């Protein structure tokens, strides 16, 4: 099992122990991803670089987004690794060197 699968399993177990799956519809998860991405942007509001951003806060927001992405992939039966590989190939064609 790759590390990504281990992370997904960790997140799903956390969710399942709290009986939250019923709330994790694709709609709700997509909203949560957007909210967390906005919280990441908020760290940079009025700043042009990382100088005023606490590393732990940055890590927390990145982790929150990634956790919701893992849950979205689980809810929609998407293989993230394969989706990323396929998208990079599409981007290579769209944006040649």
Q: How far apart are CA 80 and CA 52, in angstroms?
A: 32
Number of domains present in the structure of the chain: 1
The answer to whether residues 69 and 13 touch, using CB atoms and an 8 Å cutoff, is: no
Among candidates 58, 78, 59, which has minimal Cα distance to 69? 78
pLDDT digits (tens, 9 = 90+) for 46-81: 988 888 899 999 999 999 999 999 999 999 999 999
Residue 40: predicted pLDDT = 96
pLDDT greater than 70 at residue 1? no
With vertex at residue 64, the alpha carbon angle to CA 47 and CA 20, rounded to the nearest 5 degrees, is 150
Output the domain CATH number for residue 55: 1.10.287.1080
- CB contact set of 64 (below 8 Å; sequence gap of 6+): 36, 39
- Helix axes 26-44 and 55-76, enclosed angle (nearest 10): 160
Among candidates 66, 64, 44, which has minimal Cα distance to 54? 44
Write out the residue range of the structural domain in which residue 62 sits.
3-94
């Amino acid at each position: 099992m790759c590390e990504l699968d281990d992370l997904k399993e960790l997140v799903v177990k956390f969710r399942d122990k709290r009986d939250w799956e019923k709330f994790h519809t694709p709609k709700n998860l997509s909203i949560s991803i957007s909210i967390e991405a906005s919280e990441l942007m908020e760290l940079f509001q009025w700043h042009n670089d990382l100088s005023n951003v606490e590393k732990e806060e940055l890590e927390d927001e990145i982790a929150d987004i990634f956790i919701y992405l893992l849950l979205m992939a689980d809810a929609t039966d998407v293989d993230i690794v394969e989706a990323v590989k396929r998208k990079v190939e599409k981007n290579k064609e769209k944006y040649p060197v």
